[in-house]
Amino acid sequence: MNRPISLAVVLALALGACSTQKESAPPRTATEQLLISTAVDRAMDGLDLTISPGTKVFVNAENLEGTDSKYAVAAIRDRLLRKGAALVADRGQAQAVVEVRAGALSIDESETLIGIPSYDVPIPLASGLLKLPEIALYKKRVRKGVAKIAATSYGTADGRLIDAADPEIGYSHTNESRVLLFFSWRSSDLPKEEGDGPPDEW
């Protein structure tokens, strides 16, 4: 075993003494959820769709797909209600239909590492592998939530266009950095309670 591997094994044993194993977790972290939902909110802030107050509106979200599509649908409903629309659950009762579509509801991620990535080392006289932890002299992860949303409304009586809102793009981000294994910090434009919290495990 050469010197770099020996050093890595020693560090692995030292770090293992204070590590914990996560038994279960939700599919996504709160930070990931907030990245998308915050981007949706910001896209909605710029969405300008004219609806006459009192108009009975049915929201058609068939073309809205993505991890947080339900949140986006709720956000457009909120937007319409604030404009004075009367939402209906039955398309047959509506005076207008608002079709919502999303060009993006996702997270872009990039990562920079100066150090040694995690890797497996064969265990002599055994069939298993020893997984050595990542040794980061410097590591940075940047995640950006992106939401691109547009909407079109038309009358149910004649199918004619009432209004069309051009696509609006909303962004959110969080940056996480770590130096010398133990020192880490974070910055983000997420809601303050989450932005000031500890980084996700990475």
Nearest to 50 by CA among 88, 85, 87: 85
- Domain locations in the chain? 27-195
Q: Which long-range contacts (C-beta less than 8 Å, at least 24 apart) are formed by 191-198?
A: 191/34, 191/38, 194/30, 194/31, 194/34
Q: What percent of the chain has pLDDT above 70?
A: 81
Instruction: Give percent of the chain above pLDDT 90.
Output: 54
**Average pLDDT for the chain:** 83
For the stretch 59-73, pLDDT in tens is: 999 888 777 889 999
- Report the distance separating Cα 170 and Cα 57, nearest Å: 25
Contact status, residue 29 vs residue 141, Cβ threshold 8 Å: no
Q: For residues 27-52, give the mean pLDDT.
A: 90
The predicted structure's pLDDT at residue 191: 84
Give pLDDT, residue 75.
94
Q: Tell me the mean pLDDT in the region 163-189.
A: 91
In the numeric block, the tokens 């809205």 are attached to 64
Query: What's the whole-number mean pLDDT along residues 189-199?
Result: 63
pTM: 0.74
- Label residue 175 by pLDDT band (50, 70, 90): very high
Q: Of 8-17, 26-35, 104-113, where does the model show the most confidence? A: 104-113
| Model pLDDT for residues 125-172, shown as the tens digit of each residue | 777 788 888 888 899 999 999 999 999 999 999 999 999 999 999 999
